[in-house]
Structure 1
Amino acid sequence: MTTAHHLFFSQASKKTTPQNMCSSIMAIVMKAKSLCLYVELACNGLFGAGQGSMIAPPDPDRKYSLQRAELVIFNRGVDDLLVDFEMLVDIVKLLGENDQRGFQALFTANEMVNVCDATDPNSFLAARKLAKKFFSQKNGESQHVVHAMGHCHIDTAWLWPYEETIRKCARSWVTAIRLMEKNADFIFTCSQAQQLEWVKQWYPGLYSQIQHFASRGQFVPVGGTWVEMEGNLPSGESMVRQFLEGQRFFHKEFGRYCTEFWLPDTFGYSAQLPQIMQGCGITRFLTQKLSWNLINKFPHSTFFWEGLDGSQVLTHFPPGDSYEMKCKVEDLLNSVRNNKDKGRANHSAVLFGYGDGGGGPTQRMLQRLERVRDADGLPRVQMSSPDQLFSALEADSTLLCTWTGELFLELHNGSYTTQAQIKKGNRQCETLLHDIEVVSSLALSRNPSFQYPADRLHKLWRLLLLNQFHDVIPGTCIEMVVQDALKYYQEIRSAGAELLQEACRSLLVEKGVHEGKEGSPSLALNTLPWERSEVIQLPGGAAEPTLALVKVPSVGIAAVTESIEPDCPVSVSTQADGTVVMENGILRVIVDKAGRVASICLVNSNREAIAGGCFGNQFVMFDDVPLYWDAWDVMDYHLQTRKPVSEVIRPVEVVHSGGLRGSVKFSLRISEKSSISQELVLDARCPYVKFHTEVDWQESHKFLKVEFPLRVRSPNATYEIQFGHLQRPTHWNTSWDWARFEVWGHKWADLSEHGFGVALLNDCKYGYSVHRNTLTLSLLRAPKSPDATADMGQHQFTYAVMPHTGSFQEAAVIQSAYNLNFPLRLLPKETGSPQTGSWSAFSLSSSAIILETIKQAEDRKDALVLRMFESHGSSASAMLCSALPLKEALL
């Protein structure tokens, strides 16, 4: 015992203090068979025992207590873990928020805390491995890596017409090819299949060189779309076709499909894009425009973007906030400083080169990059490709955040309304191409002699997709581009009408139809997947139009032999004060002398839609003078200039006095130069009232809207988007809410509370605002640059108001909006008439499923593609029935 005691003090004695409260006796225990320990105590603090202060005389009466003295087994692993964690925390605190290494330390420490389980010592090893990975990086190895890629963003049309873009592409890409010849490691990215198609057509020699350098991996086609389209306004089917046409082009011409969607510049990003991308083979996404947000700074540079159905794509915003960098030191440092995911992502893109015909990258830019490839104090630079960038991001993506829903650009929200004729042309041509494909598919299935017009349809689709470029369909372009776009829409309408008539004739001939002759009934065509009962106007030369209520089956045709008698005819009555009351058994509508709607009431429930003391269908004007981007922007301060349009030119008068249709017409003066004429129409069996509107618009920097203050209270409104819908707040609680004072939607928007709501439908508008209980549709703007004549002239459009019980899903708001946009087509008698009353090609057992598209398959001439989507925002099952002679069905 004594020997062990002396060994302890001679070899392992250690002073213990409050700062160092343990002593190791491992050496003694290893040699001794038994052990006796003595503890010596001294009543001294770390700095003596002074009375009152450190240097005061000692206090002889000061007392201390020994609270614990015990033998423990020292856990070296836990101690090492604490040291790791301590050092990581210090690095976080001292390097600060702007240091890449500090953020890496923060996220490493956070992951260690998440991994550690105090009840499971085995988890400590996993935490230590995280720390080891961090500390094993030598000085400089954790430097941010910049992936430099040559780039030349060329707007397919903007401040120049389409034909000038062809020359811009040729000039810029020749420069890129010459740089590749001199610099074997230079990599150049190029999006937009349309531009490559133009160069192939007009500059075949240059195109051959492009294909050569593409095979070497230096000229890299990216994006997968026909053009860099606008991300909000095209329909879901149009977006699918952008990828279909683009991906097929890239695969045919360059032997590969793109895996990244490349959209550096656009005016917003629909929440449906991730699902569409995934369905088209795209798993990665690069853009930059959200750095232009006017109010809120978007919180991420690299993240997973999640769409409506949960589909995710790895998304990267180049932190340098530009797609036209010049390889200056500032560009490289900004790529590190502005990286909002420091510690989560250590790689970013630098897209360098002069865009829009400026020639793209230069030799000087490449020289700058060569000087700083691995320079102390700067991020590491490597010439790279999109695949290398995204592969590096994917390899270390476990800490990346996820953003769910739309990526809303807090700018350019006037572009939802500018150049109304372009918006109208887009919607109408999308509708026409849909109908042509439906009828052509039915004719292909029923008539062996019918040749599906695939080539002609491809041409028309490509014209439509071209006009969906992100400066064309928004209307943010010069007058020459507007004229080109309107010309292409007219070409689609003209050629499309011929294709539709040919398909109808072939379909009807197959069905044993005799040639039409005098007295034979007309035919009504329904291209939508549900039965419809609607009032239509029959052809004829009579001064008074002949109306008929017809029933047409889903995706089918019916003979119009005689009008169906409505269960409840429309009644129209004029009151003593000049107001007009119209009722169809579903709705009761009261219109005052100025065309304002004093009441829209659901007859069965007696539920009023219009807020008390207010009027619906109230036209309002605003001053519209944005800070800079005239055609693009509308600023929030325009809301302070609201002025009702109230001067009556012609008061309300009855046009149709009831039966199948009731309607009234009136006119208002907007200003000395502009006016509105409108017909309010209520048809038998129709759940909504329509507002057929004509505007003579001759304004400057004004904004025309129509308001419906509703007797509905809800914190959120719902808007149709591509293949679905989303909600946005009706309040301005936060800056993120307030920044959405003007938003976009497609065919409908809905404001509902439990059990009741009101939907606003339209046939060619995209701008909405819903603040508190007022549902507003944006109608016309009058910017003066870059097109001084934008929107001047005559406009015709229709919107509709649909009160409903239950949810908008239960009330068939979605179907009603389709009906408004896809009217029943009355086929001319010369196409023939069926011997049977009606015929249906397809029907669905669930109203939640929309059969959006029926078309011939691309590579199988004997096959049809049916594109369906779930529209209610849930899961659903349905049975699809068909009268076509089908052999097999594949999912």
Structure 2
Amino acid sequence: MHDDRRLIEDRLARVLRERIVPAIHPRSVPLRASIWVAPDEPVPVAEGLAAPRTPIESGAEWGAPWGTSWLTLEATVPEDWAGHTVEALVDLGFEGGIPGFQCEGLVYRPDGTPVKGLHPRNQWVPVAAPAAGGEQVLLHVEAASNPGIPFQPNDLGDKATAGTRPLYRLGRLDLAIFDEEVWHLVQDLEVLGELMHELPEDTRRYEIARAIERALDAIDLADVGGTATAARDCLTEALSRPASASAHRISAIGHAHIDTAWLWPLRETVRKVARTTANMIALLEAEPEFVFTMSQAAQFDFLKQRHPEIYEQVRKAVSEGRFVPTGGMWIEADTNMPGSEAMVRQFSFGKRFFLDEFGIESREVWLPDTFGFAAGLPQIMRAAGSDRLLTQKISWSRTNSFPHHTFRWEGIDGSRVFTHFPPVDTYNCTMSGSEIAHAARNFKDKGRATRSLAPTGFGDGGGGTTREMIAKAARLRDLEGSPTVQWQSPAEFFDAAEAEYHDPPVWVGELYLELHRATLTSQAGTKQGNRRGEHLLREAELWAATAAVRAGAGYPLEALERLWKTVLLLQFHDILPGSSIAWVHREAEHTHAEVATELAEITRRAQWALGGEQTGPHLFNPAPHTWSSIPAGGAAIADSAAPPCSVTTCDDGGYVLANELVRAEVDRRGLVVSLVDLTNRRETLPPGAPANLLQLHPDFPNAWDAWDVDAFYRNTVTDLIALDSLTVLADSPGTAALRVVRSFGNSSVTQTLALRAGDAGLTVDTEVDWHETEKFLKLAFPLDIHADRYAAETQFGHLFRPTHTNTSWEQAKFEACNHRFVHFAEPGWGVALISASTYGHDVTRTVRDDGGTTTTLRFSLLRGPRFPDPHTDQGLHRFRHAVFPGADLADAVREGYRLNLSAPETGVAQPVLPLFTVDNDAVVTSAVKLADDGSGDVILRVYESLGGRATAVITPHFGTAGIHTCDLLERPVPDPAATITDETPVHVRLRPFQLLTLRFPRTTT
């Protein structure tokens, strides 16, 4: 039987390919075609429709990279086609069957009404069903000649370098009869053939094989249309056998994962969304059981702003429950690198858009493709009213297979969210037999749960779900030998999954993706722009709110919302991670600069309204920490009586920088060889292990250049110790600083090492003129500290990661994310390392011959991948880091904020009384702003920053009454953490890492 099955499979494949599928459109006539090429960027639809055309034939070349061409297609339906279903078949020159990564089109009627999108797996356009004969057909196609960018270095990723040579050649342009019975025969045979291939050697497989054989025998290959019904009759019994009661249950949801930028620019995503939603609206009208979901509020907004006619159709379908907004975020963002407030605004703006536009609030967070998930996310989700998460990406992990598909995920504060990883292992399911069978076999919660989700449809401009997928799902609804398939919304799936799985396993801490680790470093300029924008936005909100309350100034609500949404958009999981084409990152850096300029102006105007540029208020008090006074004596700190800051020369040609708190010795190579905490008389560095050591590695991963760094990169390292110059830059009571200049390869680096009066940390400013490719630049700080774990900042707190590699899970985390700080500690003493703009880092530990432990932290600075941007990171970059010996976690939190805050403006007026004071430094202010609803109420968001319990008294310094605790959408919700009365001050009790949002209505007195 095994050999017979193979023979039947081979026979089926050829007959389908060469006879039955071509018979779906048995008769055709050519379409007449004409073309107009837009001179530059896409034009409005009315302009494209009205532009003059020139004739073009099938087979002709068209389409410069990133160009737009408008095709007009005309024909007359033959009179003898009356009663038949008629379609237009439009092949724009599609290459292979992969949708979303080549040319695409959107079809319009003469009045500008969109019909549907075109891609390699969806080339048909409805004309008449049935035809009367003699109809005049006139269609217009907005055709995008997006290059099919190969996964290797190339210049196609920017219009400025892609050239003008046509990329495509028009294929079939026909008007054709659609034989629906033959089309159904194709779906019958494909479903049964795929099921037969997946089934074990049992009776059911034999029955299907014989049914297929009988159907193929019944087909007259010279008259497929005339014998299709007879062939289908041979398959009826095999298709009508019901599934077993214990069959795995798959909830299918129509889906089109559209990367908001990746191998195309943002402007092209707007059109990809339009093509896909036009397709889905048409499919929803034709298929009553079908349900489609779309997750990114920004993409809905694209439609609203640029394609209002499609948007109105979407709104209607949403109101009918067929087109389901889900996810609740502004964009499917990276979740590792966005800061605390940025993640809050992803939810507040996303969920508010869905509420305002559709009256819908989703409990589900939909992030199928995001590259791992920060441990602070569950709390943010729940504070926004979401408690369910879907993702697919963790299935891409290369080292460890995640042990669950359905579970509860617990974040750093103890918040839990119900989480599902679809075992189908794709967010572009096509309803193939292999995918459906894999979902059932792969499901790791058998015996405890029975169902999983299958996001179904082509993504990335591929147009979403197809009629073929829906036809297959219908046949798999209740079919023996297969999981059952039912169309359901995300909420319906999660309702059913939670109802049957009351006590799922719990996963605590980050959901780390064991792949794509280099996205924490690639495209440094994009990442720096993001960090800068986040902090400037929060500072601008604070100043503007203070000016509104103190001086009655207008609050720039609309401008701040627009700027937040701009920064949030650029946090998409292929933009902020640095994995998009050059065009995307060039635009991102330009946009970030524009955002910074506008925010600086908002802040300046607020300061002016307050009476001139001010020296406060700040979100976080940046004053130096009040550590104990300098100890007296001691051989290791014999020069501790030096002035507040000093530079002295060492015998070996190096220098000593010192103030009353820290002594740093820099040798003649420009390396820090000693860093003494004078307060505790403690040396920070291990013997013979210099800090501020730049290290260069080869960086050629096995795949995914911009995304990946593989562990073997560590096998080869070059310490950059050759010195061009070492000079004293400043030697004054206020600052002691050295300048270090080095050259390596085709690049150079200038560093400034500085101590400032009253500052307990050594600051390292690094300027790199980078012209390396396929290299990885690290900045190393070895520490003489024995710690089996360290703290890395994440949203609204920190998580602990091991410094050892006991297990394969720990070994896989050889590159990890931090926000502003990492902190290492022994009982009673620690070190904080601060970053102003980098995210990636690695930690290693060794035991020395003297028995001590060396723990080394290395910040990841720059890479040089060549795909998808062959010029990634080339040029000038500036980084700022700092090392604080003797720091505890509270110091790390404070100094992390201080290093990242913009320098306060100096002015002529007196300091401004802050809107709030908080009496516990462990309770950190995350945001001060006016309410998003325009009421003028003041919003304060705080969080417990140290991982312990905290009580605090919050005192507003303005008239207020009726204070509320709120969710992230600023809606009042009860919270037992706060003791709220109409009286002030407000007393709060916070759990470890708990965030709390308070709303303060203002009074006139």
Q: Same fold (TM over 0.5)?
A: yes
For residues 176 and 754 of structure 1, do their structure 2 counterparts lie closer, same or farther at Cα, with a shift above 3 Å needed? same
**Is 1:445 matched up with 2:525?**
no
Q: Distance in 2 between matches of 1:824 and 1:644?
A: 33
Structure 2 residue 743 is the aligned partner of structure 1 residue 656: no
Moved over 4 A (4+): none
Tell which structure's C-alpha radius of gyration is larger: 1
* 1:830-869 matched pairs, under 5 angstroms: 833-834=908-909, 836=910, 839-869=913-943
In the alignment, structure 1 residue 313 sits paired with structure 2 residue 430:
no
Residue aligning to 1:487: 590
- The alpha-carbon deviation at position 708 of structure 1 amounts to 1.2
Q: Residues 124-523 of structure 1 correspond to what in structure 2 (within 5 A)?
A: 140-448=244-552, 450-508=553-611, 523=614
Q: 2:576 & 2:653 partners in 1: Cα distance?
A: 42
AA in 1 matched with 2:662:
L
Shift in Å at residue 837 of structure 1? 6.1
Which amino acid is 2:889 matched to?
A: F
SS of alignment partner, residue 309 of structure 2: helix
For residues 460 and 776 of structure 2, what CA distance do their matches in structure 1 show?
31
Aligned 8 A contact 1:439 1:507 in 2: no
Q: How much has 1:886 moved relative to structure 2?
A: 3.0
- Which runs of structure 2 are paired with 1:741-752 in the superposition (5 Å)? 741-752=814-825
**Secondary structure of the residue that 1:503 maps to in structure 2?**
helix
The one-letter code sitting in structure 1 at the alignment partner of 2:604 is Q
Contact 2:276 2:461 in 1 (8 A): yes
Q: Distance in 2 between matches of 1:356 and 1:616?
A: 45
Q: How many residues align?
A: 703
Q: Provide the C-alpha distance between the structure 1 equivalents of 2:446 and 2:840, rounded to a whole number of angstroms.
A: 37
SS in structure 2 of the partner of residue 191 of structure 1 = strand
> Take 1:226 and 1:665, find their aligned partners in 2: how far apart are those partners?
44
- Cα distance in 2, alignment partners of residues 882 and 381 from structure 1: 56
> After superposition, what is the alpha-carbon deviation per residue over 1:515-540, rounded to whole angstroms, capped at 9, x for unaligned?
x7xxxxx74234133361599xxxxx
Shift of 1:687: 1.2
Instruction: State yes or no: 1:620 paired with 2:711.
Output: no
Q: Would the aligned equivalents of 2:243 and 2:479 in 1 still touch at CA under 8 Å? A: no
Instruction: Give me the identity figure in percent.
Output: 40
SS in 2 for 1:573: strand
Determine the C-alpha separation between the residues in 1 that align with 2:794 and 2:461.
Answer: 34
Unpaired runs of at least 5, structure 2 = 1-198, 201-241, 627-640, 846-854, 966-1005
Instruction: Give the counterpart letter for 1:528 in structure 2.
Output: L
1:494 and 1:387 mapped to 2: Cα distance?
42
TM-superposed deviation, 1:383: 1.0
Q: Partner of 2:898 in structure 1?
A: 819
Task: Tell me by how many angstroms 1:287 deviates.
Answer: 0.5
SS of the residue corresponding to residue 241 of structure 1 reads helix
CA contact (8 A) 1:166 1:199 kept: yes
1:790 aligned to 2:869?
Answer: no
1:631 aligned to which of 706, 709, 716: 706
Q: Name the SS for the 1:525 alignment partner.
A: coil
Q: Residue 165 of structure 1: CA displacement?
A: 0.5
Q: In structure 2, how many angstroms separate the alpha carbons of the residues matched to 1:410 and 1:141?
A: 37
- Note if 1:755 corresponds to 2:828: yes
Do the aligned partners of residues 432 and 147 (structure 1) sit closer, same or farther apart at CA in structure 2, a change above 3 Å counting?
A: same
**What corresponds to 1:570 in structure 2?**
645
Q: 1:411 to 1:139 in 2, by over 3 A?
A: closer
- 1:670 corresponds to which residue? 744
Take 2:903 and 2:741, find their aligned partners in 1: how far apart are those partners? Answer: 28
SS in 2 for 1:171: helix
Could you tell me whether the CA contact under 8 Å between 1:374 and 1:380 is conserved in 2? yes
Within-5 A mapping of 1:63-142: 140-142=244-246
Counterpart in 1 of 2:78?
none
How many angstroms does 1:359 deviate by?
Answer: 1.1
**Deviation of 1:398 (Å):** 2.1
Question: Which residue does the alignment assign to 1:527?
Answer: 618
TM-fit CA distance, 1:699: 0.2
Match of 2:889 in 1: 808
Q: Which one is further off, 256-265 or 523-532? A: 523-532
Alignment-mate amino acid for residue 814 of structure 1: V
Q: d(CA) in 2 for partners of 1:825 and 1:888?
A: 33
Tell me the equivalent position of 1:550. Answer: none
TM-score, structure 2 normalization: 0.69
Question: Match for 1:215: what amino acid?
Answer: S
Letter in 2 for 1:797: F
Query: Would the aligned equivalents of 1:751 and 1:775 in 2 still touch at CA under 8 Å?
Result: no
**Residue 580 of structure 1 pairs with residue 655 of structure 2:** yes
Mapped partners of 2:886, 2:927: distance in 1: 28
Amino acid in the other structure paired with 2:716: T
Counterpart of 1:593, as a letter, is: R
Alignment correspondent of 1:691? 764
Structure 1's 664 and 326: CA in aligned 2 closer, same or farther, altered over 3 A? Answer: same
Q: 1:249-284: per-residue Cα shift (whole Å, max 9, x none)?
A: 111111111110000001110111110000001011
Which of 860, 879, 891 is the aligned partner of 2:953? Answer: 879
One-letter identity of the residue aligned with 1:755 = G
The residue type paired with residue 307 of structure 2 is Y
Deviations 1:671-709 (A, max 9, x none): 2x1011011010000011101111010001000001111
How has the CA–CA distance of structure 1 residues 567 and 282 changed in structure 2, closer, same or farther, with 3 Å as cutoff?
Answer: farther
1:640 pairs, out of 715, 723, 728, with 715
Q: Distance in 2 between matches of 1:495 and 1:605?
A: 45
Contact 1:529/1:843 (8 A) holds in 2? no
The structural deviation recorded for 1:216 is: 1.2
Structure 1: gaps spanning 5 or more residues: 1-97, 100-137, 509-515, 517-521, 536-565
RMSD: 1.8
Letter in 1 for 2:859: L
Specify the alignment match of 2:791 in structure 1: 718
User: Are 1:320 and 1:334, in contact at CA under 8 Å, matched by a contact in 2?
Assistant: yes
Does the 8 Å CA contact 1:524/1:824 hold for their aligned counterparts? Answer: no
What is the CA–CA distance in structure 1 between the aligned matches of 2:766 and 2:870, rounded to whole Å?
A: 24
Q: Which amino acid aligns with 1:863?
A: D
Give secondary structure in 1 for the equivalent of 2:691: coil
Q: Which moved more, 1:662-671 or 1:875-884?
A: 875-884
Letter in 1 for 2:731: S
Deviations 1:336-369 (A, max 9, x none): 1111111222110111111100111110111111
- Cα distance in 2, alignment partners of residues 531 and 267 from structure 1: 33
**In structure 2, do the counterparts of structure 1 residues 736 and 534 end up closer, same or farther at CA, with 3 Å as the change threshold?**
closer
The 3-state SS of whatever aligns with 1:528 is coil
What is the CA-CA distance between 1:861 and the residue it aligns to? 2.1
C-alpha separation in 2, matches of 1:526 and 1:439: 7
CA distance in 1, matches of 2:914, 2:462: 56
Residues 1:740 and 2:844 aligned together: no
Rounded to whole Å, the distance in 2 between the matches of 1:495 and 1:699 is 33
Amino acid at match of 1:577: D
TM-score by length of 1: 0.77
Report what 1:707 is aligned to: 780
Q: Is the Cα–Cα contact under 8 Å of residues 750 and 758 in structure 1 kept in the other structure?
A: yes
For the 8 Å contact 2:642–2:658, the answer to whether it is kept is no
